[in-house]
Chains A and B, each alone.
Chain A
Amino acid sequence: MLAVDVEKQLGALKLDVRFDAAPGVTALFGPSGAGKTSVVNMIAGLLTPDRGSIVIDDTVLFDAARGIDVPPHRRRIGYVFQDGRLFPHLSVRQNLDYGRRMSGRPRQAKEFEGVVALLDIGHLLDRRPRMLSGGERQRIAVGRALLMGPRLLLLDEPLASLDAAHKREILPYLVRLRDDGKIPMVYVSHTVAEVRRIATTVVRLNAGKVVAADGLDLLSDADIDGLD
């Protein structure tokens, strides 16, 4: 269980966000500029809130009042970025292995093969990131985040840079991951169709504030007209 309660002034935007994410997939949903990416950056530790706290299960990751701010490399939170951010100087296999190597965990062939099978990336292992399609790159990015053994997975518009065909290619993998049920996810999107497909809870952001938080029925048909 993830509990977020943060404030931060970002230029003209005053971010003031409070929500709890139950197990499953929590969608952070809202228009561009609502502050969704800033929220996940704060959960990951890449952005420091001005005030508030971030707690996951019983671990305090951030608490301004108590002066706690766990650095990103010790948060054990997987992050799939919108632009993939694979390391260009490493092969796909080395990219996938990076998190395990950095945390000094022993190699576990079973875990590795499980993720490779889940995401269908076995044939890509010896390639360089630059030789991958956009969809393949995002699958590797998901695999890389999974193989670090995260307690939470953040996905920041992982499909936004893909065309429709590649979106259809990758969504089933994410649904599979959700149905696996092992790792809670926070999924950032401004696309209703995606959120409908993947989310179990919806947190709706607008102009830096949570305007509603509930189940999928929160998404009205009006959203579909305005977005995507």
Chain B
Amino acid sequence: MLDLTPAEWTAVALSLRIAVVATACALPFGIVIGWLLARTNFWGKSVLDAIVFLPLVMPPVVTGYLLLIWFGRKAPIGAFFDTHFGIVFSFRWTGAALACGIMGFPLMVRPIRLALEAIDRKLEDAAATLGANRPWVFLTVTLPLALPGIIAGVVLCFARALGEFGATITFVSNIPGETQTISTLIYTLTQVPGGDAAAGRLVLIAIVLAFAALLASEWLARRASIRFHGE
């Protein structure tokens, strides 16, 4: 059953790489934005909140199109990344990771924000009286206590990134070996005669990966929760 062709293996490996990179790059931003939304009040906070959640409610093809006109090689942000960091997004796997990271971002921010809101601020006060400055309070108290929420956010973002289709195909197309992921390959296979068996195999893999991600998050969250709260 799982006799994958090299092209299919390539798509699976590429999907995993894209999802991992997208999630890893999104995480620091997710923690910062989650913290801003949970802990601070500033002018324009509701606008930031809305922008973060926009990819969740907009048609993915719109997100992909916006990425195309902002992050294309000649586009303002895309050109900046190209000249300063040597990173090209358009029609590269890096662009797929960018699209997937943005699509998964709202799902990552929400549980992190909720976890930060749920932390007993009195514990942070206690840490301060014990000599911890604010960065240390954050690293040694806030972050560990928010860990279950951070794990949940990571897994949701990863799962979303793994299955992303609309924004990816709009922004970086569907190039075998470069931007062709499980999702876009399944789409390709359903467009050609006799592609059903191969599509079926990939569908199965997609289900297994999604399931594994959920089980892993359950397990990690329970472990963290037992460690901290004993329940």
Which residues of A line the B interface, CB within 8 A?
44-46, 71-79, 81, 83, 85, 87-89, 98-99, 102-103, 128, 130-131, 144-145, 148
Contacts and interface: CB of A to CB of B under 8 A. Distances in A.
Interface in B173-231: 227-230
B230 A79 contact: no
Interface of B: 122-123, 125-134, 136-137, 140-141, 144-145, 227-230
Contact of B228 (A74, A78, A88): A88
A73 B132 contact: yes
A128 B129 CA distance: 21
Contacts of B128: 45-46, 71-73
B122 A85 contact: yes
B230 A148 contact: no
A73 to B, nearest CB: 5
A83 B122 contact: yes
Contacts of B228: 88-89
Given A88-B228, A89-B144, A99 B122 contact: no
Contacts, number: 69
B129 A98 contact: no
The 7 nearest A-B residue pairs measured at CB? A99-B130, A102-B131, A85-B126, A103-B131, A72-B128, A79-B129, A102-B132
Contact of A76 (B122, B131, B132, B133): B131
B141 A81 contact: no
A76 B128 CA distance: 10
Contacts of A77: 129
A79 B132 CA distance: 13
A108 to B, nearest CB: 15
B129 A89 contact: no
Contacts of A99: 130-131
9 contacts: A45-B129, A73-B129, A83-B122, A87-B123, A99-B130, A102-B131, A102-B132, A102-B136, A103-B131
B227 to A, nearest CB: 7
Given A72-B125, A72-B129, A99-B130, A89 B145 contact: yes
A140 B125 CA distance: 17
B144 to A, nearest CB: 5
Contact of B227 (A72, A74, A89): A89
